[in-house]
């Protein structure tokens, strides 16, 4: 206990410090230690107040998630909290870093809370498919009122200390946690402040008791984007108990809701995703002690959709950008689009009114590649052909400063081939952003055979700095994301030849939880892009070609696989598309058949999983979890299904293999099972058991 909890007596103040790196999570040892120290301090006649604080980078960041799913060890967190709340002397939580989940719940059981300026406070349990299980849903509404409580509990995002102060969640902003907490404790004693037990304070929920719409409106606003998820709705119900029931009954109902979610498939998947994202930070083949190169300024080549979005991501994080185009006109257009984008976000209240000007000021738009000289990282986002890329990298070799990391945003091309056009292939790698690049969080960091480890971790660290989720991948056509996505894209096209309609395929995928189906996505991106590329490569796809020949390029032409009302982005199924499909099939002498939703789902998902297995087999991705992170953040895979590899484990690899074999017989070798899939099934293992050979 003395290792994780330290109790110091500063005359009449007991300072209790939790020291359990990395994030002071509430493991059994921490819970037990806090309980024992609090009991010790309370019975000490010299002690008049207790300050509860933490060492290291943060206040308690929540329950210890690694303990979930294992037999529970005493003491229960709720018992620790009721000892704190019922203490006869004031207990003050002195917060720095992040007080999250059980950490904030513990602070809410204290009589007073103070926090440093940069601290954040939140109940993010919904992001793990849970609801706060230690009184958070009952005490937070009593502290800040039901509207903000719903926002924090159902949305899961933390609030900064200033907002916490404004809303009565903390009493004061302090300089440092230990000294500030102690000074505040002395003030409480000097002023003889009465102990504030939130459980007994109903002043902030009184209005919602009289008019429940205050609560229900807040819930309706927060659950709008929670399609398919269980936790936000259960969490909202739990906040409702705070309004409708006496405290102890509410606490009991909260606990029931928490335990139900704890064993749910959704929460298991969400907790898996949490750890998968963190494991993806661990990169093999980087010698211990390798340091990331400093990145103070970046240059981006190309102010088109991708380049502009990437530049916005850097400016959003406060990093200055030199944005380069070969001509004035394209540059002006690119800069104008960024400005408009930010202004639209500011108009919606998403960023402060002065943010667009401040962010634009960080972007220096210039003409000419020779201007890359002062950048520590150069990201090329120019036209996607090898010849163009090689030309650009050849010039970069001439103008970029020594030691600059040279990244290509290519989504398919061979990074090593691109690197050959420089005399510094060790500085070259891929940083593949996803469209729209200012929104999508994934960044595939493509490692070539000659990429230097420090260049690699520089790209990883920099992408984290701009709030992206980096995943290191190896070299192959399309890397992880597009290589897998193309498998389902191919099937989507083929399903039309057999009788499915675009709206049926899309509906199956959105029901599964994907944000949109492939045909809505294609309408959004522009159907002509694929058409032009097919023409270029001499490839035919009769239905998609007929669609484009009819001028149905997608949203931009008001019709594509769907039709769109003027000014609307809502896809409306169009009988004209069904006719077009039927005519094309008749011309090809093919007959439509009924295709079941089940068949659609299997044919869209299993080839993805199979390709994922090949990617692992070939060492292109280090772990199945890395592939899942790619799908979660690159394509909006529903987090409550973990990712395609996790999903495959849940439905059973033997079932996937059997179906792939069946489809191979009827449809051909595109359904040939991956060797790794065969091996895992033969050995009775799952993707979760897979690790790359050392
Ligand atoms: C809860 O509290 C339930 C209660 O209501 C009811 C209970 C009855 N447990 O993210 P990082 C590890 S639910 C165990 O890279 P950062 C993490 O795996 C919980 N481990 O750092 C990583 O390990 P490794 C509610 C945890 O600075 C290391 O710490 N709380 C936990 O970017 C560093 O993590 C949450 O949901 C944990 N709770 O971000 C908060 N948290 O080095 C979850 C982290 O071996 N945590 N680890 O890979 C976070 O959001 C971020 O970790 C935090 C730090 C913002 C704290």
Count CA atoms within 13 Å of residue 194 on its CB side: 5
The span from the CA of 499 to the CA of 614, in Å, is 30
Looking at residue 533, its pLDDT comes to 77
* Residue 162 pLDDT exceeds 70: yes
Ligand 1 geometric centre to CA of 468 (Å): 18
For ligand 1, pick from 25, 30, 59, 62 the residue to mutate: most ligand atoms within 8 Å of CB: 62
* Residue 376 pLDDT exceeds 60: yes
Choose among 583, 561, 571: nearest CA to 489.
Answer: 561
List the structure tokens of 245: 């029931």
Looking at residue 383, its pLDDT comes to 86
Q: What is the mean pLDDT of residues 93-101?
A: 98
Count CA atoms within 13 Å of residue 145 on its CB side: 13
Q: What's the whole-number average pLDDT of the chain? A: 96
* Residue 254 pLDDT exceeds 70: yes
The span from the CA of 255 to the CA of 670, in Å, is 49
> What domains does the chain contain, in order, with CATH numbers?
5-263 (3.90.226.10), 298-477 (3.40.50.720), 482-587 (1.10.1040.50), 598-689 (1.10.1040.10)
Looking at residue 435, its pLDDT comes to 86
Name, in order, each residue with C-beta under 8 angstroms of 246's C-beta and a sequence gap of 6 or more.
none
Residues 200-247 have pLDDT tens digits of 999 999 999 999 999 999 999 999 989 899 999 999 999 999 999 999
pLDDT band at 525 (very low <50, low <70, confident <90, very high): confident
Closest ligand 1 atom, residue 128 Cα: 36
Q: What is the mean pLDDT of residues 338-362?
A: 96
Looking at residue 694, its pLDDT comes to 79
Residues 104-132 have pLDDT tens digits of 999 999 999 999 999 999 999 999 999 99
| First CA to last CA distance, the chain | 37
Q: Are 363 and 311 in contact (CB under 8 A)?
A: yes
Residues 485-498 have pLDDT tens digits of 999 999 999 999 99
Residues 393-435 have pLDDT tens digits of 999 999 999 999 999 999 889 999 999 999 999 999 999 999 8
The span from the CA of 220 to the CA of 229, in Å, is 14
The span from the CA of 406 to the CA of 400, in Å, is 8
The pTM score is: 0.94
Closest ligand 1 atom, residue 62 Cα: 2
Residues 302-341 have pLDDT tens digits of 999 899 999 999 999 999 999 999 999 999 999 999 999 9
User: Exactly one of 83, 85, 105, 171 is catalytic; which is it?
Assistant: 105
Looking at residue 536, its pLDDT comes to 76
Q: Is-catalytic flag, 125?
A: yes
Ligand 1 geometric centre to CA of 64 (Å): 7
For ligand 1, pick from 79, 130, 278 the residue to mutate: most ligand atoms within 8 Å of CB: 278
For ligand 1, pick from 21, 23, 105 the residue to mutate: most ligand atoms within 8 Å of CB: 23
User: Quick one: how far is CA 245 from the chain centroid?
Assistant: 35
Q: What is the mean pLDDT of residues 137-155?
A: 98
The span from the CA of 153 to the CA of 562, in Å, is 38
Looking at residue 1, its pLDDT comes to 44
Residues 40-58 have pLDDT tens digits of 999 999 999 999 999 999 9
Total length of the chain: 694
User: Exactly one of 85, 125, 171, 380 is catalytic; which is it?
Assistant: 125
Residues enclosing ligand 1, CB less than 6 A?
Answer: 22-23, 25, 58, 61-66, 77, 98, 100-102, 105, 124-125, 128, 130, 132-134, 136, 278
* Residue 2 pLDDT exceeds 80: no
Choose among 480, 515, 509: nearest CA to 625.
Answer: 480
Ligand 1 geometric centre to CA of 6 (Å): 22
* Residue 455 pLDDT exceeds 90: yes
Closest ligand 1 atom, residue 100 Cα: 30
Strand residues in 91-148 grouped as ranges (E): 91-95, 98-100, 112-116, 120-122
pLDDT band at 272 (very low <50, low <70, confident <90, very high): very high
Residue nearest to atom 30 of ligand 1 (CA): 62
* Residue 381 pLDDT exceeds 70: yes
């Amino acid at each position: 206990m003395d290792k994780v909890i330290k109790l110091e007596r500063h005359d009449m103040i007991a300072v209790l410090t939790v020291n359990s790196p990395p994030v002071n999570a509430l493991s059994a040892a921490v819970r037990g230690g806090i309980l024992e120290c609090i009991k010790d301090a309370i019975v000490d006649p010299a002690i008049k107040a207790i300050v509860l604080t933490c060492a290291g980078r943060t206040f308690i960041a929540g329950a210890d998630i690694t303990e979930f799913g294992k037999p529970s060890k005493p003491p229960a967190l709720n018992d620790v909290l009721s000892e704190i709340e019922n203490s006869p002397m004031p207990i003050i939580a002195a917060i720095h870093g992040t007080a999250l989940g059980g950490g904030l719940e513990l602070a809410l059981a204290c009589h007073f809370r103070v926090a440093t300026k940069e601290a954040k406070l939140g109940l993010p349990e919904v992001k793990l498919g849970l609801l706060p299980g230690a009184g958070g849903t009952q005490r937070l509404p009593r502290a800040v009122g039901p509207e903000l409580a719903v926002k924090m509990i159902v949305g899961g995002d933390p609030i900064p200390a200033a907002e916490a102060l404004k809303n009565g969640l903390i009493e004061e902003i302090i300089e440092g946690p230990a000294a500030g907490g102690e000074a505040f404790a002395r003030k409480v004693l000097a002023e003889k402040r009465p102990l504030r037990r939130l459980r007994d304070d109903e002043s902030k929920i009184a209005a919602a008791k009289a008019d429940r719409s205050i609560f229900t409106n807040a819930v309706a606003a927060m659950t709008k984007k929670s399609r398919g998820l269980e936790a936000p709705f259960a969490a909202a119900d739990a906040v409702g108990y705070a309004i409708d029931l006496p405290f102890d009954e509410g606490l009991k109902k909260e606990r029931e809701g928490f335990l139900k979610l704890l064993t749910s498939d959704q929460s298991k998947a969400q907790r898996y995703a949490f750890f998968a994202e963190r494991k993806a930070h661990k990169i093999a083949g980087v010698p211990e002690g390798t340091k990331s190169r400093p990145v103070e300024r970046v240059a981006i080549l190309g102010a088109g959709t991708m380049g502009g979005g990437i530049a916005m991501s850097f400016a959003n994080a406060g990093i200055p950008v030199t944005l380069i185009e070969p001509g004035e006109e394209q540059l002006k257009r690119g800069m104008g689009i960024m400005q408009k984008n930010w202004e639209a976000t500011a108009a919606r209240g998403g960023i402060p009114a002065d943010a667009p000007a401040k962010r634009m000021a960080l972007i220096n738009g210039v003409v000419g590649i020779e201007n890359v000289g002062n950048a520590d990282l150069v990201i090329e986002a120019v036209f996607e052909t090898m010849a163009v890329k090689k030309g650009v990298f050849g010039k970069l070799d001439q103008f970029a400063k020594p030691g600059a990391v040279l990244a290509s945003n290519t989504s398919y091309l061979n990074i090593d081939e691109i690197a050959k056009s420089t005399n510094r292939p060790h500085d070259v790698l891929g940083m593949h952003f996803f469209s729209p690049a200012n929104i999508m969080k994934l960044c595939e960091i493509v490692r070539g055979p000659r990429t230097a480890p420090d260049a690699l971790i520089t790209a990883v660290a920099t992408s984290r700095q701009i709030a992206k989720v980096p995943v290191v991948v190896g070299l192959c056509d399309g890397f992880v994301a597009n290589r897998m996505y193309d498998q389902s894209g191919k099937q989507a096209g083929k399903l039309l030849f057999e009788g499915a309609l675009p709206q049926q395929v899309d509906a199956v995928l959105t029901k599964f939880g994907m944000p949109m189906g492939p045909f809505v996505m294609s309408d959004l991106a522009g159907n002509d892009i694929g058409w032009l590329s097919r023409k270029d490569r001499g490839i035919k796809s009769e239905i998609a070609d007929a669609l484009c020949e009819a001028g149905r390029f997608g949203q931009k032409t008001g019709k594509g696989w769907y039709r769109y009302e003027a000014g609307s982005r809502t896809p409306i199924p169009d009988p004209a598309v069904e006719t077009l499909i039927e005519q094309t099939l008749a011309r090809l002498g093919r007959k439509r058949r009924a295709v079941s939703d089940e068949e659609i789902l299997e044919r869209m998902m299993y080839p993805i999983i199979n390709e994922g297995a090949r990617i692992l087999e070939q060492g292109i991705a280090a772990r199945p979890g890395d592939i899942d992170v790619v799908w979660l953040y690159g394509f909006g895979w529903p987090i409550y299904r973990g990712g395609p590899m996790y999903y495959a484990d849940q439905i059973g690899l033997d079932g996937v293999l059997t179906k792939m074999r069946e489809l191979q017989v009827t449809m051909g070798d595109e359904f040939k099972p991956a060797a790794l899939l065969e091996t895992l099934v033969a050995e009775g293992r799952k993707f979760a058991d897979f690790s790359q050979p050392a």
